[in-house]
Homo-oligomer: A and B are copies of this chain.
Amino acid sequence: MISPELLSISRGDTPADLLITNAQVVNVFSRTVERTSVAIHAATGRIAGLGEYTRGVRTIDLKGAFLAPGFIDAHMHVESTMLPPSEFVTLALPHGTTAAVFDPHEIANVLGLAGIRYIMDDARDLPFNSLFALSSCVPASHLETSGARLEAADLAPLFDDPRVVALAEMMNFPGALNADPPILAKIELGLLRHVVDGHAPGLRGNRLNAYIAAGITSDHECTTRAEAEEKLRRGQHIYIREGSAARNLDALLPAVTESNAHRFSFCTDDRHPADLRDEGHIDHVVRRAIRAGLDPCTAIAMASLHTALHYRRPDLGAVAPGFCADFIVFDDLGLPTPRQTFFRGTLVAENGKLAPAPARSTARRSTPPASAVRFHSSLSESSFRIPSRGGAHLRVIGMHPDQLVTDSLTVPANPVNGEHRADPARDILKLAVLERHRGTGNIGLGFVKGFRLTRGAIASTVGHDSHNLTTVGTSDRDMLAAARALAQCGGGQCAVLDGHVLALLPLPIAGLMSDRPAETVIAQQRSLLEATRSLGCPHADPFMPLSFLPLPVIPRLKLTDKGLVDVERFDFVPLEA
């Protein structure tokens, strides 16, 4: 409904509810700055106009400070922040993010539709534009046991929610480009009213053509300038990803030109809570892009309008008549650090903190789903035992602390009493993936090199994409203790020594997210990482690579609850070589 009151303010016949004067507005259409006033209508939370306005019920004189549209994250999994949306926004709003396209892919793999519905419910009535891309690939592969399976028919009813803007990243790119019928059914569903997001790392040439011809119009997996340029030339909108795990900004920025910048957006994909708080969110990406030489107005347009246009949300992403009054105030165009964030014309964050009342009062928590960590009753220390079959060598996963890709190593076997054991002296630790959704008792066992634990064990119920419980350790006893500790708290991450929990980060919401305030989660995570270091592991965040060890779609050697997977063969391989 168009508001006659809004138009009356636009015309200047009625005073603005909020008048902002002396603003240097970043105009994302012209990609220039204009000094002007901005008139806002409170009841709709919309911008009535820019220009010659002098009357406001309330007036804020910006004294030449900059005003720009709030930032939009084009693609993120809120689960990576370990916070549900209602808590995530407490970190995001102070950094100027006023909209994000959430793909609830992680919780969907654990809880299916109930998980997606929980996230969508939790995101209601926040001072934030929660947009949704519906998860297209649950489960990610047939080589693991997930908590759910979602087909087109399952997703269809969700598309009626007006917050849905896309079918989320089509990670099964072989399925898409080979015209696998259930995959095409999902894409067709997405294309009925929306866009379909892509996920095709390194896909080039004719296979890329097929993937795009299937209707997939974006990509956030580019890692080289040439890849981004090719995908752009073939019609894809490129989301430059700069998150906590994958960081592609430096590589991709040279692909952006004045004439093609409208085909680029920013996203974080996965962002950890401490990074979010300390470095920032999309504002951090914008600052990095500007420091790397991108025109500030262009960077801001990529962080706002370009994303809104791609997702066909004509009410978001600009400071212009009729647009939602979601904007930020900052002092230095060369280093946009939001001093204030407004949502629908109301101040919601200031100087790095949430504004006191109105914003938070609208937030409400939905009931988190019940615990989602369930093991078979037979689980015991002996479940972790790996009897030798007499092979002379073992296949060992070679983990790199900052990469998702692993090596496939072969090391001499050294069985003790007929079993293969962890050998911390050689940094060969035992790895186990315990199916946690259905109580099947599935347990995948193997070895990993790279964590450098000298004692104890660590474990996590965050394990892409099925999120089974993954534990790495020096002894079966501590691995069991770690698994049991997480089962008890409904999931999370922990460090264990001699059967005792040293530190625990509970993630009771699907084993992925906390129900505590962000500050608590960040503190718990810091304690956990300190405890892990006390076990001998020198890495800044070993839980990041740990969480990707079960993902059988990223090379080369991975472990699921069903066994060891050679990703290049996309099949299981025996432990002994």
A-side interface residues toward B, CB under 8 Å?
1-2, 4, 6-8, 10-12, 27, 29-32, 34, 39, 46-53, 177-179, 184, 187-188, 195, 205-210, 212-215, 217, 229, 232-235, 257-263, 298, 309, 312, 314, 318, 320-323
Contact = CB atoms under 8 A, between A and B. Distances in A.
Contact of A34 (B187, B233, B260): B233
Copies in the complex: 2
Interface majority SS (helix, strand, loop, mixed), chain A: mixed
A187 B232 contact: no
Given A188-B1, A206-B10, A27 B178 contact: no
Nearest to A4: B179
Nearest to A312: B312
A209 B10 contact: yes
A50 B1 CA distance: 44
A212 B322 contact: yes
B206 A322 contact: no
Central interface residue in A10, A51, A263, A320, by most chain B CB within 10 Å: A10
29 contacts: A1-B188, A2-B187, A2-B213, A4-B179, A6-B213, A7-B179, A7-B213, A10-B206, A10-B207, A11-B207, A11-B209, A11-B210, A27-B233, A29-B233, A31-B260, A48-B210, A49-B210, A51-B205, A51-B206, A51-B209, A195-B314, A210-B321, A213-B321, A214-B322, A235-B320, A258-B258, A259-B261, A309-B309, A312-B312
B232 A30 contact: yes
A177 B12 contact: no
A214 B261 contact: no
A170 to B, nearest CB: 12
A262 B264 CA distance: 13
A237 to B, nearest CB: 9
Nearest to A6: B213
Given A2-B215, A49-B213, 13 more contacts: A1-B188, A2-B187, A4-B179, A7-B178, A7-B210, A7-B214, A11-B206, A29-B234, A29-B260, A29-B263, A30-B259, A215-B322, A217-B314
Given A10-B210, A51-B206, A179 B235 contact: no
Which of A49, A195, A205, A321 has its CB near the most chain B CB atoms (within 10 A)?
A321
A205 B34 contact: no
Given A2-B179, A234-B321, A318-B235, A259 B7 contact: no
Contacts of A309: 309
Nearest to A230: B51
A48 B205 contact: no
9 nearest A-B pairs in the assembled complex, by CB-CB distance = A49-B209, A10-B210, A4-B179, A235-B320, A213-B321, A213-B322, A212-B321, A258-B258, A10-B209
A408 B359 CA distance: 59
Nearest to A263: B29
Nearest to A229: B30
A12 B206 contact: yes
A12 B259 CA distance: 31
A165 to B, nearest CB: 13
A325 to B, nearest CB: 11
Contact of A11 (B47, B177, B234): B177
Contact of A31 (B2, B10, B235, B259): B259
B49 A10 contact: no
Nearest to A301: B259
Contacts of A49: 206, 209-210, 213, 234
A208 B48 CA distance: 11
Nearest to A323: B235
